[in-house]
Amino acid sequence: MIDLTYRFLREDDFEDLHALASIWPVVRQLGSWPWPPSKAFTQSRCRPYRGEGFIWAMCDTDRLIGTLGVTGGIVGYNLHPDYHGQGIMTGAVADAIEQAFMTTKRDVLTASTWHDNAASAWVLAKQGFVHWQTRYTHARARGVPTLIHDHRLSRNTWQRLRSTDD
């Protein structure tokens, strides 16, 4: 069992975040992260997010094991492969959705998954996201246009699903 906590990113996360950014199976699923990893890019991410929304460091004790955020109404996340398959991201995404709907007036959140990331699409589906569009877009790390599935979740659906969980 892990001791999962969330906090804002900070400068001393560089080593853990850059190690995560150096794992091809992680980075290939991110839309804007470069490959090979760039120390300057990683360093630019080691600070609290200043736009609309938030990005959290996901930590096991105090070790960064992934990131999770909702920025501009878009949900995004990554997790070290050692922690895959344990339900961690399902719970963390639910926490992020709850935070986003509590702290913004947005009525819809969106998220995207690459065509070859069924596990991430399943995490979103368990939270009530529905697929609404498939398209090609440039994947920075992959270096080619890649098929992506767009998903969305309304505030009303989220509230309805939460009320049936009680």
Token readout for 73 is 């109404």
Per-residue pLDDT at 16 exceeds 90: yes
**162 pLDDT more than 80:** yes
| Structural domains in the chain, sorted by start | 4-165 (3.40.630.30)
Residue 3 corresponds to which amino acid? D
Which residues are CB-contacts of 146 (< 8 A; sequence separation ≥ 6)? 114, 115, 136, 137, 138, 139
Q: How many CB atoms lie within 10 A of CB 68?
A: 21
What are 62-75's pLDDT values in tens digits? 899 999 999 999 99
Average pLDDT score over residue span 50-55: 95
Residue 166: band (very low, low, confident or very high) from pLDDT cuts 50, 70, 90: low
Judge whether residue 81 has pLDDT over 80. yes
Q: What pTM was estimated for this model as a whole?
A: 0.95
